[in-house]
Structure 1
Amino acid sequence: MKLSKRALLALAAASLGGLAFAAATVDQPAPAFTAQTADGRSIDLASLRGKTVVLEWTNHDCPYVRKHYESGNIPAQQKEAADKGVVWLQVISSAPGQQGFVDGATAVKLNASRAAAPSATLLDPTGQIGKAYGAQTTPHLYVIAPDGQLVYKGGIDSIATSKKEDIAKAEPYVRLALADLAAGRKVAQPNTRPYGCSIKYAS
């Protein structure tokens, strides 16, 4: 079947658009980024080479996020990760005027009030980082190995509810992925289904 020149151009444009917002792929290099942190620093992923990195998309108003913070589940995992030299980065991709958007000072206060312990909080109001990774929900978690390869993406655990009592019964996907990586094993479940609130990207 012959395609017209216009059809070919449209197909090429669609392909390029797909590449621009392609989701990060397990066993491939994690998409590079540079971001401002809530406390006014700048972090780029390249500077963290040699360390295991966790990216956690968050929105403090989301009931699924509240489940994991109010129960202490995510703060506990952040502290466990830090004790093992893992860099845990929160990412806030809510656009200005949308649910979950906060400025840096507010993000710092929120973390203090929740006893959260991320290594840093990245502010992504344009959604550039979120779209590069294909982040869909809050929470949505990614684990990057010290060599820069993405080794896990998906949910924090296996029970997709906002009920705190389900945490103890769930399979803790991120904990397990980090344990596999630390032991030099291939992550047993590298892709799982994320659950939570949709990320409130700029339209």
Structure 2
Amino acid sequence: MPAATPQAAATGVKVGQPAPDFTLTDLDGKTVHLADYKGKTVVLEWFNPGCPFVQKAHREGALKDMAARVADKGVVWLAINSGAAGKQGHGKEANVKARDEFGMKHPILLDETGATGRAYGAERTPHMYVIDPKGIVVYAGAIDSTRGGEPEKDEKVTNHVDVALSELAEGKPISMAQTEAYGCSVKY
């Protein structure tokens, strides 16, 4: 796996601000509008099926079955691919293949213009955002603390999204509301 390059988003939404609204189409042609989920907790995962970090996370890492597990608690999970035409991981066919291979049951939304990714400041895949039921971004950053997708021997790994979701459900402030995302660059 290539070395991680952590980088904070220089532009885009900040933690504590309203989540930028969007309307995108999923792989089945269904229109998904973020505003339709007002009153629910939403997780956004920037996705690229060609990215080794995304592949590892979905096959055996922090993202394996996580969306299904939190869906049982009423959390909406949306993967967004902001890859442009001709770039790694772009296109419906590559994303359908990955959805099937990874066993993903949640929508993968195509943002081919990159407008939604830029509105959020998504820099990496995976780059994660948690939106509270009021529509406020309460977490932005890495899926976990591995800083590269693969834990070192005896490393205690913290799943930042899991922690944020648990604290949000308990009505607590998010203890680590922002981290540096690691992974592949978003292929705008």
TM-score > 0.5 by shorter chain? yes
TM-score where L is the length of structure 1: 0.83
Partner in structure 2 of residue 140 of structure 1 = 127
Cα 1:72–1:64 change in 2 (3 A) is closer
Query: What is the rounded CA distance, in whole Å, between the counterparts of 1:31 and 1:116 in structure 2?
Result: 24
Partner in structure 1 of residue 157 of structure 2 = 170
Q: 1:109 offset after TM fit, Å?
A: 3.1
Q: 1:115 offset after TM fit, Å?
A: 1.5
Partner in structure 1 of residue 17 of structure 2 = 28
1:100-134 per-position Cα deviation (integer Å, ceiling 9, x unaligned): 1121x54233212111232x111001100000000
Q: How many residues align?
A: 179
More helix by share: 1
Q: Return structure 1 stretches of 4+ with deviation > 6 angstroms.
A: 164-168
Q: Are the equivalent residues in 2 in contact too, given 1:138–1:195 (CA < 8 A)?
A: yes
In the alignment, which of 192, 195, 198 is matched to residue 179 of structure 2? 192
In the alignment, which of 104, 126, 144 is matched to residue 116 of structure 1? 104
Q: 1:165 offset after TM fit, Å?
A: 6.6
In the alignment, which of 34, 48, 66 is matched to residue 77 of structure 1? 66
Can you give the 5+ residue segments of structure 1 that lack an aligned partner in the other structure?
1-20
Q: Are the equivalent residues in 2 in contact too, given 1:39–1:108 (CA < 8 A)?
A: no
Which structure has the greater CA radius of gyration?
A: 1
1:55 partner SS? strand
Higher relative contact order (CA 8 A, sep 6+): 2
Query: What is the rounded CA distance, in whole Å, between the counterparts of 1:34 and 1:130 in structure 2?
Result: 12
Q: Which amino acid aligns with 1:195?
A: Y
Q: Are the equivalent residues in 2 in contact too, given 1:92–1:122 (CA < 8 A)?
A: yes
Q: Are the equivalent residues in 1 in contact too, given 2:45–2:78 (CA < 8 A)?
A: yes
In the alignment, which of 94, 114, 131 is matched to residue 118 of structure 2? 131
Partner in structure 1 of residue 6 of structure 2 = none
Q: 1:167 offset after TM fit, Å?
A: 10
1:113 partner SS? helix
**Percent identity between the aligned chains?**
44
Query: What is the rounded CA distance, in whole Å, between the counterparts of 1:193 and 1:64 in structure 2?
Result: 15
TM-score where L is the length of structure 2: 0.89
RMSD: 1.9
